[in-house]
Structure 1
Amino acid sequence: MRWARDVPLGPLVRYRIGGPAARLGRPRSIRDLAGALRDTDGLAHRMLGTGANVLVGDAGSRRPVLVLDGEFTSLRVDDEAIEARAAARLPVLAGAARRAGRTGFHFLEAVPGTVGGGLRMNAGSREDWLWDRVEWAEALTPAGELVRLRPEEAAPAYRRVNVPADWVFVRARFIATPGDARAIRDAHLGFRRRKVRDQVYELPSVGSTWKNPGPPHPPAWKIVDEVGMRGVRIGGARIAQRHANFIVNLGDAQAVDVLELMAETRRRAQARLGIRLEPEIHLWGFGRDELERVGAP
């Protein structure tokens, strides 16, 4: 596998924002990936799927970036399960389950991203999470060891799993029980209609900006609304009118515009409501002070 240098990341992420990656590689096999992890020479790498929940800084990423390709895009349906590699798209997984008449995957309709990213952040809705469907998942360690994890070992929770950050998910087997084909189709299409109606798809965004803080607090979108940030614009970025937990790129946004909207929202939420918002999106290429302003780990 060859590394490319100074690759623009904006075209590779859903926000269409961000500077270049100092190095970017596209492993097409487990062997390629193991070699790429060795090549990083101890530098913490970053994994990029569709960039569905990533804000890249205007200066880009100095860390090596890996985009899985080739054999990692495959997906297979068998009698009782669906096996998918990490670069398979979540909408493709949902579509395969719908067409095969398998229950339990409707919540992935219109959810961008890949299986690998979905496993890492436990993608899903308020009621259903991806790890609810996992029989096992496999990850490659920086040492080149392939580890199989059961859900109880990964300890999935809201938007996270207890798996080392430098392990790379490569494959998973999902429980896919046959069911009534018509009911499954209706569940999928109904969920998709609601998401397209309530969320923002016509402008670049990365979905929910903030994690829901949990009881007794209201959901994040309501907090943003209550502190008067719905519709606020800075530069080329704006907090969406339709869904206040989305920040959209109006066409010429820079990462600093999004960051300033996040910082002001968080400042107001803490000052007025005593709530400390935490980003749901991942931020690449920002300094410690910038991350602290928006409550990023």
Structure 2
Amino acid sequence: MNNKLKWLLAVVLFSFLGWYFLLKQSDYTITFKVNAATGTISQGIMEWTTTRSKKQNEMYIILEKRNFDFIKQQMKKGNEKMEYTWNMKSINDSMTNVTIGIKDLNHSFYNRLTAPFIATKFRTEQIEKIKYFKMGLEDHIDDFKIRIDGEKSSEEIYVAYISLKSVLQEKAQTMLEYDPKIIGYLDKNKIKIIGYRPYLEITDWDEDKEIVSFNYCFPIPKNTKYLPDSNVKFKTIPALKGLQATYFGNYRTSDRAWFALLDYAKKHDYTLENKPIEHFLANPFNGGNELEWETKIIIPFASK
């Protein structure tokens, strides 16, 4: 072997070792695929870490969050300090690849020497931990179904509505909380509700803080006469063109269809205005199989 080749190999080797021990962001990486949108997985991560904080005394801090496809967290438990870097990449209209980079801030050098090659305590514990996350996520995915319907148009509707605000995970609970207020007003004033199938109109969606402002709406006849009210208002929701999905499942998690539409739009070069409209076609108070509760969801195309 000539000297030039030896020097080249030495440079490549030292460059790799420098990257591996000094620049590489994680000690160990776990990858899996799951049949869910990136946003559904992102929500699952947040809910999972909240549960672990309560049950395992693990305290999680978000260091960085980007859209629904990247989360970097720091976890502390006693003297233990870890970093988890989650990357979610949509593969197709239904499948997402999840990569988790794990770094032990107290024993990073040792873990890099050992974890990729032998079943250390660190590696075994992390694999088990992510395994339970994946199992919980798959159980959740079994609780609903989503069908992408493609380009559609909604109908113009005249509604009575009440404006509300909540964290994304509690929008259905917030609707139920205010249901007696709007229904009570309509009943009291003998205003007919058409079909008793309410709408939810998102007016603002703060994706970073996961907070939504929305109108909880009931369709009524357009010529309705009404008395002014401090909470209940009236308006026309115009017909809109956008991407539509049909969601089957509990209304608490209907936003899973939003995430599916966003991933679909990204894959197929659509630009959407992130203000979904949901039309609930089943009454949850009637009970029954939640997988038969149907919701039509449309996210309008962004204005050019």
TM-score for the superposition, normalised by structure 1: 0.26
Greater helix content: 2
Using structure 2 for the length normalisation, give the TM-score: 0.25
Task: Determine which structure has the larger strand proportion and give its number.
Answer: 2
Structure showing greater Rg: 2
